[in-house]
Amino acid sequence: METKHWTSHDELNNQAIHEAAERLKQGETIAFPTETVYGLGADATNDHAVSQIFQAKGRPADNPLIAHVGSSDLIYDYVTDVSEDAEALINAFWPGPLTLILPAKSKLAENVTAGLTTVGFRMPDHPVALALLQAANIPVAAPSANRSGKPSPTAAGHVLHDLDGKIYGVLDGGMTGVGVESTVIDMTLDPPMILRPGGVTQTEIEAVIGPVNLAPSLQAEDDAPRSPGMKYKHYAPDCPIWIVNGGAERMKQVAHDLQQDGKRVGFMVSDERAIDLDQDHVYRLGSQKDLLAITRHLYDRLRQIDNSDYEIILAEAFPKDGIGEALMNRLEKAASETIE
Ligand code: TXA
Ligand code: MG
């Protein structure tokens, strides 16, 4: 199959959106930009359509998908209950990077929920995603549009790199904004539990509905042994990444020791740290003063590192405040070690 590439030139062109929405309804897979990362969409009520997502991504069948809607009203057809807290979160954060796990009706394709009795819903905050979802007017199952085991795509080029020839088309909306996946919160538990940190922070959620829990896997300290039971394979780069706590001097020292051993060492750091390091082999993430920008660039830099021939990448640690919580969650998952 030749993958259709609707370029940013006609991204908001009705014709492109209309055609993509029609193809979705006919059971094809379409990749589209959201404010977090690109998603690979298929009709969430069509088992066969959804199976093509799993096939294109090489995704394990027991990992459930998020259903996306262009209007919050649509979810009431597919869930048995929307609690007061869930309503409050919808009102506060949709459209936006927050996925709510709710009790599912059996009207969705079984492979969306992977046999669970719950389903994740979200309404993305991106003009192209919203136009597509509203034109299709169906729930659209959409995991991140990468091959399983690769970083989530933050540009259409990333999608094509991984999935060209395997999907019907991609709507190119340029770079995504948040750069890491949505916050996932299980609203079927009391109190609700954050399963994945993302663009909406715990503090922001608690300001609306009061205290929530963090999944136990998110509470593990830095130096706790990496749980092999983190059930689903997450992105692990070919080149090991070490997070180095401390300043530029410490990082230089670690690099020096590795270079003495003949290793080709690269760095993934802020602009400020890059200046202090004064080295050639640097992937810059953005200014320390702008954690949002650093988060937005993370997956692109990880993809660049995958194409490099460094033997070790030393990465800067960032404060876990606000979006830093999601940023460091993804960075720690990609890293094999944290050095004090
Ligand atoms: O920002 C995002 O959420 C992106 C964009 C495309 O919307 N999507 C995304 O999808 O990251 P995916 O499939 O890569 O991640 C979905 C996460 C997985 O960790 C999955 O296990 C969890 O949500 N999930 C989905 N349904 C669930 C459910 N019923 N119960 C618990 N976890 C669920
Ligand atoms: Mg994913």
* Distance between Cα 166 and ligand 2 center (Å): 17
Q: What is the mean pLDDT of the chain?
A: 93
Task: Return d(Cα 131, Cα 129) in angstroms, integer.
Answer: 6
Question: DSSP per residue over 82-139, as a string?
Answer: --HHHHHHHHHH-SSSEEEEEEBPTTS-HHHHTT-SEEEEE----HHHHHHHHHH-S-
Q: Which ligand is nearest to the CA of 154?
A: 1
Q: Is the CB of 173 under 6 A from ligand 1?
A: no
The whole-number pLDDT of residue 9 equals: 62
11 in contact with ligand 1, CB cutoff 6 A? no
Please give, one letter per residue, the 3-state secondary structure of 21-76: HHHHHCCCCEEECCCCCCEEEEECCCHHHHHHHHHHHCCCCCCCCEEECCCHHHHH
Q: Kindly give the number of the ligand 1 atom that is closest to the alpha carbon of 124.
A: 7
Residue to substitute in 181, 183, 187, 194 for testing ligand 1 pocket (most ligand atoms within 8 angstroms of CB): 181
User: Which is it for the CA torsion 26, 146, 292, 175, positive or negative?
Assistant: negative
pLDDT at 10 over 60: no
Closest CA to 67 of 92, 33, 29, 101: 101
- Whether ligand 1 lies within 6 angstroms of the CB of 181 is answered as yes
Q: Is the omega angle on the peptide bond into residue 97 within 30 degrees of 0, that is, cis?
A: no
**CA 144 to ligand 2 center in whole angstroms:** 4
Task: Tell how far the Cα of 239 is from the centroid of ligand 1, in angstroms.
Answer: 26
Per-residue confidence band for 11, with pLDDT thresholds at 50, 70 and 90: low
Query: Residue 258's CB: how many other CB atoms inside 10 A?
Result: 16
Closest ligand to C-alpha of residue 96 is 1
Ligand 1 and 31: CB distance under 6 A: no
Indicate whether residue 142 lines ligand 1 (CB < 6 A): yes
CB 169 within 8 A of CB 6: yes
Task: Please name the residue whose Cα sits nearest to atom 10 of ligand 1.
Answer: 143
Does residue 228 have a pLDDT over 80?
no
pLDDT digits (tens, 9 = 90+) for 253-293: 999 999 999 999 999 999 999 999 999 899 999 999 999 99
Q: Tell whether ligand 1 has an atom less than 6 A from the beta carbon of residue 20.
A: no
158-167 per-position pLDDT tens digit? 999 999 999 9
Q: Is the CB of 120 under 6 A from ligand 1?
A: yes
Question: 30, 99, 167: which to mutate for ligand 1, most atoms within 8 A of CB?
Answer: 99
Residue of minimum CA distance from atom 31 in ligand 1: 101
Q: What's residue 46's pLDDT?
A: 98
- What pLDDT score does 330 carry? 95
Q: Is 178 in the pocket of ligand 1 (CB under 6 A)?
A: no
Could you tell me the distance, in angstroms and rounded to a whole number, from the CA of residue 324 to the centre of ligand 1? 20
pLDDT band at residue 130 under the 50/70/90 scheme: very high
- For residue 312 and ligand 1, the question of a CB distance below 6 A is answered with no
337 alpha carbon – ligand 1 mean position (Å): 26
pLDDT of residue 12: 59
Q: What tens digit of pLDDT does each residue of 199-213 get?
A: 999 999 999 999 999
- Does the beta carbon of 116 sit less than 6 angstroms from any atom of ligand 1? yes
Q: What angle (nearest 5°) sits at the alpha carbon of residue 53, between those of residues 47 and 54?
A: 90
